[in-house]
Amino acid sequence: MNSIRTYIVLFFLGLCSQQAYSQTYQFKTSGFSVLEKNERGIWAEWSDLDLVNLSVVLDTNKHRIVVYSQEIQLFKILDYIEREENDTDIVYSFMCKDNDGRDCKLSIITRKKQDYRKQLYINYDDHIIVYNIFSV
């Protein structure tokens, strides 16, 4: 009987510890810009910042990032890249696959010298989308 209680307690402790590490982070966007490669494969200029109010959810339990734009952008997290930090930035990156099965890298960057402003970068081989984001 004691061993059954021990297993039950261990089972619930295991469930609780997994919940502690799985979190959902909610953000709102305030604007976005796009950078594209031209026909010669050279990066052009960033587009003008467009104001946009969208929800972004990082769900580590479901291993995904969702941008709730007019067409929902769903990114399945394949790999969590180790956190990077330097004098100007704190960077959390994720190797992902998007709705269409294309590989991309998403990064949430906190700009230390810009009042800790946050940005979400969605990096593809031929274009980059950046969203200015803030926590909600």
pLDDT in tens, 17-57: 444 456 999 999 999 999 999 999 999 999 999 999 999 99
Q: CA 14, CA 37: separation in Å to the nearest integer?
A: 48
β-sheet bridge partners, residue 122: 106, 129
β-sheet bridge partners, residue 127: 36
pLDDT digits (tens, 9 = 90+) for 54-99: 999 999 999 999 999 999 999 999 999 999 999 999 999 999 999 9
Average pLDDT over residues 3-22: 46
Name the residue among 40, 63, 34, 52 with its Cα closest to residue 124.
34
